[in-house]
């Protein structure tokens, strides 16, 4: 089930007024829904002492949303300098931030060490020698290679660019231990948008096994294992949701088993993005043109700059025509398109929707994660605003729409010309 009935019941009665005030297009996020999902996640793992979710900032990098995450007691998973800056701006410090970068620059490492540092999650053994210093607490991202298969979005671990290989992982910990590290974590991320909870259970099992092996070899203890993000959400109306309860029970069983055997267990960390905010956002856009050629194209006032997933992954996003029930209106098959000069700029292809007139409002669902954040500016298309439907029913602007001045901002620079001397003629 895409957008929840509760979100609908909160949003639809006020939507006309919201549009009259803010104008389309916009993404709007549901604070109540986000908090509910966050609490459910914490409840699921409440028996695991020290469980922590590090919200994957890249899914929805908006400070107001990140404040909600902080209110839930979550930390942040970052992979770039601006994401670190954002996390610190909303008050996160030190071990409330996990820095999981890949192909990392020296400048990014320097930023990671600033301002109270963070948990460093290294993506390669060669990076040990390139760090400004070896922190007391250190983590590696593990890539199991052919030992596991990933899912469609992430692909096969063996082909993926991420993580430390199985053959190198023991040496990696040996090396940092020798250089003075005394606290250890282990991380992996193997799937994306996976609704089969068994994947996550297998990942937890795999990490506990690796932790057990390395602990034995090096006489160390792991403070935490981090199973990454990748929890899936139902984008299609008939998709069954991920079974969080069973996932929690089975993972709990694994940790209890570890604890019985060793007298302690690492803490469980997780870094969900999509699962936390995905279903709690929609893109609201108005039909502005209707074009009947070989197909019927409904042109809307948003485009790929607001939501890339259909264009780049062929992803399905459920669409409702505001005020037109699919059961009571005559349907027609249409393409819902943006204005980019790219034929992939379509929110839906040959979708049966209630007959749309110019001026109708379309609700494109499940845009709360990897939606606005992924948008680009190709074709000088600007990104829309973001709104928050707050717990008390108020609607606030949490990011304004881009303007041409934003687009031109990088053209405002100091002249800088390098004129090399012409090579001498012999």
Ligand X SMILES: *Cc1c(COP(=O)(O)O)cnc(C)c1O
Nearer to ligand X, 227 or 287 (CB): 227
353, HSE (Cβ side, Cα atoms, 13 Å): 28
Question: Among 344, 366, 314, 315, which Cα is nearest to 27's?
Answer: 366
Nearer to ligand X, 70 or 324 (CB): 70
Nearer to ligand X, 77 or 320 (CB): 77
As a whole number of angstroms, the distance between CA 281 and CA 368 comes to 4
Residue with token string 């109270």: 116
Query: For residues 24 and 285, is the Cβ–Cβ distance under 8 A?
Result: yes
Nearer to ligand X, 308 or 361 (CB): 308
Nearer to ligand X, 56 or 353 (CB): 56
Minimum CB distance to ligand X, residue 34 (Å): 14
Q: Which residue is nearest to ligand X (CB)?
A: 229
List 78, 118, 303, 341, catalytic entry: 341
Cα radius of gyration rounded to whole Å, the chain: 24
Nearer to ligand X, 225 or 300 (CB): 225
Minimum CB distance to ligand X, residue 162 (Å): 8
Question: Among 57, 25, 64, which Cα is nearest to 383's?
Answer: 25
Instruction: Label residue 423 exposed, middle or buried (CB < 10 Å: 0-12, 13-18, 19+).
Output: exposed
As a whole number of angstroms, the distance between CA 80 and CA 108 comes to 7
As a whole number of angstroms, the distance between CA 275 and CA 84 comes to 21
Q: Which residues on adjacent β-strands are paired with residue 122?
A: 140
Chain positions contacting ligand X, by CB under 6 A: 56, 58-59, 77, 100, 189, 192-193, 228-231, 271-275, 369
* Cα distances (Å, whole numbers) of residue 154 to 109, 284, 376, 421, 424: 25, 29, 21, 48, 53
As a whole number of angstroms, the distance between CA 40 and CA 411 comes to 46
Catalytic residue list contains 78 = no
* DSSP-H helix ranges across 131-219: 166-178, 197-218
Minimum CB distance to ligand X, residue 97 (Å): 13
Instruction: Label residue 229 exposed, middle or buried (CB < 10 Å: 0-12, 13-18, 19+).
Output: buried
Minimum CB distance to ligand X, residue 143 (Å): 12
Hey, what are 98's tokens? 């996990």
* DSSP-H helix ranges across 236-391: 244-262, 274-277, 309-313
Minimum CB distance to ligand X, residue 51 (Å): 16
**Phi, psi values for residue 46, rounded to 5°:** -65, -20
Report DSSP letters for 5-64, one per residue. Answer: HHHHHHHHHHHHHHHHHH-SSEEEEEHHHHHHHHHHHHHHTTTSTT-EEEEEGGG---HH
Minimum CB distance to ligand X, residue 18 (Å): 27
Minimum CB distance to ligand X, residue 180 (Å): 26
Nearer to ligand X, 62 or 192 (CB): 192
**Catalytic residues, which ones?**
341
């Amino acid at each position: 089930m895409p957008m929840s009935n509760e979100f609908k019941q909160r949003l639809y009665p006020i939507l006309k007024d919201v549009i009259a005030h803010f104008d389309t297009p916009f993404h709007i996020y549901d604070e109540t829904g986000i908090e509910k999902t966050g609490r459910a996640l914490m409840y699921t793992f409440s028996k695991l002492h020290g469980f922590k979710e590090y919200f994957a900032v890249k899914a929805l990098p908006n400070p107001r949303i990140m404040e909600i995450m902080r209110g839930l007691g979550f930390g942040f998973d970052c992979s770039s300098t601006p994401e670190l800056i954002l996390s610190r701006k909303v008050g996160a410090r030190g071990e409330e931030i996990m820095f999981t970068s890949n192909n990392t620059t020296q400048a990014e490492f320097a930023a990671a060490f600033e301002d109270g540092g963070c948990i460093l999650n290294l993506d390669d053994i060669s990076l040990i020698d390139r760090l400004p210093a070896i922190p007391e607490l250190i983590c590696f991202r593990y890539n199991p290679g052919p030992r596991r298969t990933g899912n469609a979005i992430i692909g096969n671990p063996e082909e993926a660019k991420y993580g430390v290989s199985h053959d190198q992982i023991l040496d990696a910990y040996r090396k940092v231990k020798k250089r003075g590290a005394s606290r250890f974590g282990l991380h992996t991320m193997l799937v994306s948008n996976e609704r089969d909870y068994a994947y996550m259970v297998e990942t937890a099992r795999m990490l506990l096994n690796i932790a057990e092996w390395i602990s034995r070899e090096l006489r160390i203890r792991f403070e935490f294992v981090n199973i990454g993000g990748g929890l899936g959400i139902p984008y299609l109306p008939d998709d069954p949701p991920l079974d969080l309860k069973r996932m929690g029970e089975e993972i709990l069983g694994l940790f209890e088993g570890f604890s019985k055997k060793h007298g302690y267990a690492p803490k469980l960390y997780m870094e969900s993005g999509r699962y936390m905010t995905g279903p709690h956002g929609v893109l609201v856009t108005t039909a502005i043109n209707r074009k009947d050629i070989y197909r019927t194209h409904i042109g809307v006032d948003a485009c790929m700059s607001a939501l890339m997933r259909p264009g780049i992954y062929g992803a399905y996003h459920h669409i409702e025509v505001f005020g037109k029930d699919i059961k009571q209106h005559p349907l027609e098959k249409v393409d819902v398109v943006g204005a980019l000069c790219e034929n992939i700029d379509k929110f839906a292809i040959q979708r049966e929707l209630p007959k749309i007139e110019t001026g109708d409002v379309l609700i494109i669902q499940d845009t709360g994660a990897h939606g606005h954040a992924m948008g680009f500016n190709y074709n000088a298309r600007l990104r829309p605003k973001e709104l928050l439907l707050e717990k008390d029913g108020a609607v606030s602007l949490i990011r304004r729409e881009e303007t041409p001045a934003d687009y031109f901002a990088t053209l405002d620079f100091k002249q800088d010309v390098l004129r090399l001397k012409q090579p001498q003629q012999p």
